[in-house]
Amino acid sequence: MRDTPYCNAPWVGLTYESSVGCKPCCEWQAPDKDILSSKGSAFQGRYTDYIKSDWLKDFKKLMYEDEMSTGCQVCINAEEAPNSQSRRQDMSRFKFNEHGENYIARFDFRAGNKCNLSCRMCHPEASSMREEEEIARGNIQSIFRVEDMSDAYDIDLTKCKELSILGGEPSIDLEVRKWIDHVKDYDIDVCVTTNATNTSNKWFQTLKKLKNEPEIWLSIDAAGEVNDFQRKGSVWSSVKDNIIKYRDEFYEGSSKLSIQLTASAINFTTLDVWWDELMELNIPIHSSPVIHPVEYNLGAIPDKFKEAQVIWLDNWLLEKPRHWRQKREVKEAINILRSNPYSKEKQQLFKSEVTSLDSWRNESIIELDYRFKEILDA
């Protein structure tokens, strides 16, 4: 057992989601075996009850284990990657008394799962469209919801340094606009994640209410047909125009605008098709691999296909002089491709889920790209 906790999140972090409940960190997923394995990925209730709960007490105990829990896999992966910092490492800058009261230094707030997209690698808790689809497919009956999140407005934010606002899709959720009105005068660094499908004047003006100009993460996974396939409901030509509007309206040349790219078995298998167009937008890109749902993890793809993309990226760097940031982005992508080794079990899960959803949606991943025929036939 450790003398000090390996992560500060249970003492200084909070994720409060209407469709999940409360937990110290948005990255956390229920592990297979530990003291929380029977209690799920979150405390299913209000923050008022969470801070007094046995769930949180047990989570704090878990932080004293010699090895990091498999529920911390996202941070484990980040710390194994070169030139990368995990959420756990970032949390270490917030000081606290491990035997004292909690305070919130970093807060992830999700007012609901209302969303206008039905992305393949997403889940019902984060998308109302995916929720409706999974109910219609007979895979679920409903999802959990916190009945009343009004206590979020009573949380002490005086020591909060960072606030992330996510969804669903924040730009179409009126509850998010109500929350921004609540926090707009706080001296907090705010980050908003959006799928860039909405650039209405009302939404832009809402963002401009914040005391500190917000950091905006554009959740974009590819360009062209690959984008439209992975992120169902979006149309790349419109999304591309909206990305440029965000860039021009807020942060031309600023590091506060970035693309957050979810690397899946779909888009990273076809990276050579769309990479150039996304890079031409000249916006910083940060990639992270799908961990859950496991069906879309890159481990589903045979290594020869991933190595082909590594070679393509290496050649892309050599074609002409590249900006230092682009070199970092390529190295990040290569690390993701190489750090998710092939698993036959994951390939079968990918095949089962993709063929089932293709049938339901009347789509075809094989028509998207020729490589998937061999992957699904293997």
pLDDT for 342 beyond 60: yes
Can you tell me the mean pLDDT for 270-282?
Answer: 97
Residue 272, CA distances (Å) to 32, 302, 305, 313, 356 in order: 35, 16, 11, 8, 26
What is the token pair recorded at 143? 């999802």
Please write the tens of the pLDDT for every residue from 217-251: 999 999 999 999 999 999 999 999 999 999 998 87
Please write the tens of the pLDDT for every residue from 193-224: 999 999 999 999 999 999 999 999 999 999 99
The chain-wide mean pLDDT, for the chain, equals 94
Dihedral in degrees, nearest 10, Cα atoms 37, 16, 86, 197: 120
Can you tell me the mean pLDDT for 109-121?
Answer: 97
pLDDT for 267 beyond 70: yes
Amino acid identity of residue 47, one-letter, is Y
- As a whole number of angstroms, the distance between CA 165 and CA 193 comes to 6
Q: Are strands 189-194 and 21-23 parallel, antiparallel or unpaired?
A: unpaired
Give the start-end residues of each E strand in 122-195.
162-166, 189-194
Can you tell me the mean pLDDT for 354-361?
Answer: 98
Can you tell me the mean pLDDT for 138-142?
Answer: 94
pTM as predicted: 0.92
- As a whole number of angstroms, the distance between CA 276 and CA 296 comes to 23
- As a whole number of angstroms, the distance between CA 159 and CA 103 comes to 7
Confidence band for 254, pLDDT divided at 50, 70 and 90:
low
The two counts, helices (H) then strands (E), for the chain are 16, 10
CB atoms within 10 A of CB 247: 18
